[in-house]
Amino acid sequence: MADTRIQTRVEEDLADWLTERDLRMHTGSHHIQAKLELGMWRRALAAELRRIRLTLNQANLIASVLSGTVMTPEIVGSAPAVLMEVGDAFHLARETPLPGEAPYGETWSVDEDALLHYLRTLGPTADHALFDAVSRWWKAGEPGTVEGWANVGLTVVPDAPAAEHDEA
């Protein structure tokens, strides 16, 4: 059986915060409160991930950009990590394209501006939840399919077929 005990020392202000929340929630101690806070964080990530809606190509494009990117434990409200990484990748591909490589939007049949706009609407928790899902998707070696993304909790929909224009 795995050791499920977790011990750490925290900064005084974090201990005070946990104690204060414990007193209002009547959980019994700041130790129990820390355990409950971890559970709440996990459920918050799952809830935010369920709210994210992407097309399959959008999810695969984001995964392509985040390939090899290490997730950090920080949450920076003014600079969401997925938005920053995807925005930087789009910018670099436009400003310094590699010979023979198409821009991300062209490669994945995705409107880059629309995707960036959507990513800007995600709050910091949702952004972190998306980054976490992509990280788990890469680690598990899931396929870039609706089912593969569902296996890590991300809802994606198939892309609509390209509209064919009749020329008369």
Q: Which of the 8 DSSP states describes residue 156? A: E
Reference 63, options 145, 114, 116, 135; nearest CA is 135
Judge whether residue 166 has pLDDT over 60.
no
Q: How many CB atoms lie within 10 A of CB 63?
A: 19
With contact defined as beta carbons under 8 Å apart, do 131 and 45 qualify? no
Q: What is the pLDDT of residue 107?
A: 93
Q: What is the pLDDT of residue 94?
A: 87
Q: What percent of the chain has pLDDT over 90?
A: 75
- In percent, how much of the chain has pLDDT > 70? 93
Q: What is the pTM of this model?
A: 0.87
pLDDT for 162 equals 63
pLDDT at 19 exceeding the cut of 90:
yes
Q: What is the mean pLDDT of residues 22-27?
A: 94
Q: What is the mean pLDDT of residues 127-153?
A: 96
137-164 mean pLDDT: 91
User: Does residue 112 carry a pLDDT above 90?
Assistant: yes
C-beta of residue 56 within 8 angstroms of C-beta of residue 161: no
- Domain residue ranges of the chain, discontinuous segments joined by +: 12-47, 53-157
* Alpha-carbon gap, residue 130 to 125, rounded angstroms: 9
pLDDT value, residue 78: 59
Mean pLDDT, residues 28-39 taken together: 93
Name 156's bridge partners.
54
Would you report the helix, strand and coil content of the chain in percent, each value rounded to 5? Answer: 60, 0, 40
Q: How far, in Å, CA of 116 to CA of 25, rounded?
A: 39
Helix/strand/coil for 55: strand
Q: What is the pLDDT of residues 36-64, one digit of tens each?
A: 999 999 999 999 999 999 999 999 999 99
Euclidean distance between CA atoms 37 and 142, whole angstroms: 30
Q: Is the pLDDT of residue 167 over 70?
A: no
> How high does pLDDT run on average in the chain?
90
Q: What pLDDT is attached to residue 161?
A: 77
